[in-house]
């Protein structure tokens, strides 16, 4: 069962820490972990430290997924998507997929850095997660009646593999699909792999 027992304050701190990692400003945190691992005197000590950090990551990821399922506030959802992407949380693929067209207004505020996410934070997170997201994107394309979801799902695949391989993957799935309606949707998605248009991101 996915836990939702995480406060908004903890999420804010987590996102800030992850952004700090991306900006290269978290050396102290990494050094602390490195020192703990170096100071482990036995394999049991080492295993205990590794298990602790893995368990913390799993607990936080589960909590973030739980929050994404119930949160209605778009700025908060954007931060959750960013955090899940930074964690490369493959277990979040289905939930991120359901939020792939989540759209946020990204603008520079006086005295603040630009956000670490662009206009489509779930889309960006899925690309970061990589190959585990591809099958879910194919299912999105096959099922969706929403053109934006089709476009973004297709561009997740190309963002992961590059356009040439993405076209091969989508074409192969279309050829293998026995449902004519789904095959047609996959065929239509190829348009986006042959187009130069890309989703707008504040970081581009």
> Which of 99, 72, 103 minimizes the C-alpha distance to 84?
99
d(CA 154, CA 100): 11
* Burial per residue of 123-149, b for 16 or more beta-carbon CB atoms within 10 angstroms, e otherwise: bbbbbbbeeebbebbbebbbebeeeeb
Give the mean pLDDT of the chain. 80
pLDDT at position 44: 73
Token pair in block for residue 40: 């482990």
Q: What average pLDDT does this structure show over 109-120?
A: 75
| Domain architecture of the chain: domains with CATH | 8-193 (1.25.10)
Q: What pLDDT, in 10s, does the model give residues 160-180?
A: 999 999 999 999 999 999 999
**Per residue in 26-46, pLDDT tens?**
444 445 555 555 666 677 766
pTM: 0.74
Euclidean distance between CA atoms 147 and 162, whole angstroms:
21
């Amino acid at each position: 069962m996915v836990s939702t027992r995480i406060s908004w304050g903890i999420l804010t701190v987590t996102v800030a820490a992850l952004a700090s990692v991306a900006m290269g400003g978290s050396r102290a945190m990494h050094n602390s972990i490195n020192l703990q691992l170096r100071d482990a005197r036995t394999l049991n000590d080492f295993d205990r430290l590794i298990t602790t950090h893995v368990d913390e990551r799993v607990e936080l990821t589960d909590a973030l997924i739980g929050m994404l399922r119930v949160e209605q506030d778009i700025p908060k959802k954007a931060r959750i998507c960013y955090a899940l992407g930074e964690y490369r949380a493959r277990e979040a693929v289905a939930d991120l997929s359901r939020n792939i067209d989540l759209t946020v207004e990204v603008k520079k505020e006086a005295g603040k850095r630009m956000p670490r996410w662009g206009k489509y934070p779930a889309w960006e997170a899925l690309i970061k997660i990589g190959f585990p997201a591809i099958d879910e994107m194919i299912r999105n394309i096959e099922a969706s009646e929403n053109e934006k979801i089709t476009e973004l799902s297709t561009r997740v695949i190309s963002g992961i593999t590059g356009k040439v391989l993405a076209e091969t993957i989508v074409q192969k799935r279309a050829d293998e699909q026995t449902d004519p309606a789904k095959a047609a949707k996959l065929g239509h998605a190829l348009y986006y792999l042959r187009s130069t248009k890309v989703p707008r991101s504040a970081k581009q």
